[in-house]
Structures are given as C-alpha cells and as structure tokens.
C-alpha cells in the first residue's frame, strides 16, 4: 500500500504545487478567505464529494463516504494568511502588500485538496469515512475552530488529525508526542500612566518609561522564581511604546526632551498547564500593581486567554505513528518530540474529541529553507507536501 500511496501523491504533486502557489500569491486574512474557500469547495465538488460551505462563517466541509465503514475521521487544514510583508524573491511571491502566507497554510490547503483526490481514487481501500475540514482564521483570536465546531464540523466524527509544515525539521521527517503538543497562547496589554514633563526636570514627573523598563526586566523573574523548573512557561514582551515617535520613521522629529505620560506594554504568555497559566497571570498583575503603587503611577491590565493547549490523545498518536511508520524509516519519526510553545486553534478540536497534531518536516538547508514560520522570508521545500499528503492518506487506509 505504501508504494501505491506514494505513486498517487507523486502523480498529483505538480498540480498540488500549482494550487499552493496560486493560493500563496493571493493571501487572505482571518475569516475573509472567500477565494481560498472557493478553491477548496470547487475541488471537492469536482470529485463528487458533497460540500458544505459557510461553515464557521467561511469554512468548507466535505464528507467522503465509504461503504461499510463504521468510523469517521476528520482531516483539517487552515486557510488564512498573516498580515506580514513577504520578503522572499520567489516567482510565486504574494501579490498583495502587507499580506502573505508565511505560516504554510497555503500548503496545508493544497495538501488536503490533494488528499481528497487520492482518497477518492483509493476509496475501495479505505477503512473509514473521511471528513475534510478547511478552516478560516487560525491566526487571529478568537480563531476559526470554535465557529466551525459550533456549526457542526465535528458532528459524527470519532477522531481528528491535523498537520503543520515545520522548517526546523527536514523534509521526510514527522514529529509528534502524546499529551500537550502545543501551548495555550495568551496575550496581555498594559497601559502604564505616570506624569509627563520636561526631561530636564525628571523629579517633577512620574516617569512611566523608567517604571516600564523595571517591570519588563522583573517580568522574567515570574518564570524563574514562580514556576516549577520542570514545568514549561514563557512570558515575552513584544511591544513597548512611549513618546511620540513614528515607528516607521524612527526618531526623526520626535520630542527627545519630553518625558511622556504613558507607556504601552504588550506581550504573550505560553503555558502547557492551566494551573501554571493562572499563576503566571496572577503574578503579572501583582508585579505591575507593585511597580505602579511604589512609583505613584496607575495602570490598566488586560489579559486575554488564547487558544487552549493542543492535546494529543494516545490512541490517535498510536494511529498517526503507525501511519507514518508505513511511509518512512524509524529515524525519520521524531517521537516523542518536546512540546512546542507555539499556539494553534486546533487545540479547540482536541478539547472536544480524540485528536493528534503532527509536524511535517519542510526544511532544506541546502536550499536555504531554514526560516521559521512567521519569518518574512519563510518558505517550504515543496517536496514536503508529498509527505503531508501521504500521511493523511495513510491515516484513512489503516
């Protein structure tokens, strides 16, 4: 069966690459994925697979029914891009300024289309019904998965599987683990208010920049002194703004002799356990309150729960490893991989039914394809799509 699966995937490969590159050139954000969803829906319809559109606002769902099967698995692909300017020089570079497929969702969509084609051809070999889920808005809260679930995407589904291209692993490698695979990814925003004034008279001000700098430095003590070293947690400040400089123009024209009244601080918290998440959240608030009170400043603190932990259920992991083991040698199976503190709204599915999420190697050092997802020069070795499709196909033939 392995040879047949690879033969079929290679047969469709060039066409799937063309679909991926077409989607790549016309990236869409959030729930506004009408063009991409149309490509997916048309592809399923052309195969005679019943299609439902508008699921979770702009999602697409199709069901391949297999005579005699008593089980149904779901295979999921996300469709949305990122609000980032692409900095590659590939011929299929994004044609839309400020939007780009720099996380590989174009490949995910194309691979699931290819999987549907191959499974349609191999229907007589399938052991399970298969649901194809094309999901919008993975990249932005509240995520598209809850909307898909609310519209019935998981009804009558026994298990769900998802994949993600991952350039830190080489083409031909698969990586997964049992239990927490990806982190809960929360965000926080703080407005720190002091009293502005002339920079030559700092004693007449309450300087929010000094307070903010102390807070940012002290923030790391939350992880080192409040979280068990054997537990995983990350707190990263990603935004720190004060004064009136235009970030695009630098400090030209900015008032460098003025202490501003406010500083804005934003960042992310990544955890694998709810108890750790709650403790970190509590300590961030305590810390900003302490620095503010000590310096007679005030603050606002907004903390937003992000996607839940993506949890890999052991029976599904065993199935995924068995499927992958049919395709590659044992040294290409990275198991158990250490949990990754990136976030994924696939976590919502894994809270509802048994699930497994697998990283598919997409890197190639010889070709210079080494940049991580969300990097402005992110790309994949497109050969990885063969391995993404073969894994999906193999899951339906076990």
Residue 356: per-residue pLDDT = 98
User: Rounded to whole angstroms, how far apart are CA atoms 146 and 69?
Assistant: 28
User: Rounded to whole angstroms, how far apart are CA atoms 127 and 398?
Assistant: 7
Whole-structure pTM over 0.85, yes or no? yes
Task: Encode pLDDT of 129-176 as tens digits.
Answer: 999 999 999 999 999 999 999 999 999 999 999 999 999 999 999 999
Residue 371: per-residue pLDDT = 97
Consecutive H or E run containing 143: none
Q: CA 269, 272, 277 angle in degrees (round to 5)? A: 50
**DSSP assignment of 263-281:** EEEEEEEEESSHHHHHHHH
- 90: preceding bond cis by omega (within 30 degrees): no
245 pLDDT higher than 70? no
Contact (Cβ atoms closer than 8 angstroms) between residue 357 and residue 164: yes
Residue 255: per-residue pLDDT = 86
Task: Encode pLDDT of 49-85 as tens digits.
Answer: 999 999 999 999 999 999 999 999 999 999 999 999 9
Contact (Cβ atoms closer than 8 angstroms) between residue 161 and residue 318: no
* C-alpha distance from residue 335 to each of 177, 318, 322, 343 (Å): 6, 11, 12, 20
* Placement of tokens 């199709």 in the chain: 62
In the chain, the percentage of residues whose pLDDT exceeds 70 is: 99
Contact (Cβ atoms closer than 8 angstroms) between residue 246 and residue 299: no
Helix boundaries (H) for the chain: 2-25, 34-46, 105-121, 145-150, 208-219, 221-226, 274-294, 314-325, 346-352, 384-397
**DSSP assignment of 355-396:** EEEEEEEEEBGGGTB-PPTT-TT----TTHHHHHHHHHHHHH
What residues act catalytically?
80, 138
User: Rounded to whole angstroms, how far apart are CA atoms 28 and 337?
Assistant: 31
């Amino acid at each position: 069966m392995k040879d047949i699966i690879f033969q079929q995937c290679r047969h469709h490969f060039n066409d799937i690459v063309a679909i991926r590159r077409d989607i790549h050139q016309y990236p869409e954000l959030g729930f506004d994925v009408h063009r991409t969803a149309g490509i997916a829906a048309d592809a399923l319809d052309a195969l005679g697979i019943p299609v439902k559109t508008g699921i979770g606002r702009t999602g697409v769902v199709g069901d391949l029914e297999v005579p005699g099967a008593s089980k149904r698995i779901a295979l999921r692909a996300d469709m949305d891009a990122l609000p980032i300017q692409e900095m590659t020089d590939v011929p299929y570079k994004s044609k839309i300024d400020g939007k780009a497929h720099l996380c590989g969702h174009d490949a995910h969509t194309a691979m699931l289309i290819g999987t549907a084609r191959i499974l349609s051809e191999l229907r007589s070999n399938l052991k399970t019904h298969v649901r194809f889920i094309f999901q919008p808005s993975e990249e932005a809260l509240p995520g598209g998965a809850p909307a898909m679930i609310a519209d019935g995407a998981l009804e009558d589904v026994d298990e769900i599987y998802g994949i993600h291209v991952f350039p830190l692993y080489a083409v031909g490698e698969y990586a997964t683990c049992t239990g927490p695979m990806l982190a809960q990814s929360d965000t926080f925003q703080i407005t720190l208010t002091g009293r502005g004034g002339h920079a030559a008279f700092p004693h007449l001000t309450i300087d929010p920049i000094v307070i903010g700098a102390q807070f940012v430095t002290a923030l790391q003590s939350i992880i080192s002194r409040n979280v068990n070293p054997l537990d995983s947690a990350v707190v990263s400040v990603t935004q720190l703004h004060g004064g009136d400089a235009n970030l695009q123009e630098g400090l030209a024209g900015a008032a460098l002799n003025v202490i501003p009244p406010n500083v804005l601080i934003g960042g992310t918290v990544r955890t694998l356990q709810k108890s750790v998440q709650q403790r970190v959240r509590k300590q961030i608030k305590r810390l900003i309150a302490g620095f503010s009170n000590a310096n007679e400043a005030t603050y606002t603190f907004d903390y937003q729960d992000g996607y839940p932990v993506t949890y890999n259920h052991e029976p599904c992991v065993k199935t995924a490893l068995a499927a992958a083991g049919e395709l590659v040698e044992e040294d290409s199976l990275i198991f158990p991989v250490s949990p990754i503190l990136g976030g994924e709204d696939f976590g919502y599915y894994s809270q509802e039914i048994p699930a497994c999420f697998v990283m598919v190697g997409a890197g190639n050092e010889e070709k210079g394809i080494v940049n991580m997802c969300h990097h402005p020069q992110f790309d994949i070795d497109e050969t990885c799509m063969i391995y993404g499709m073969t894994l999906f196909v193999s899951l339906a033939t076990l």
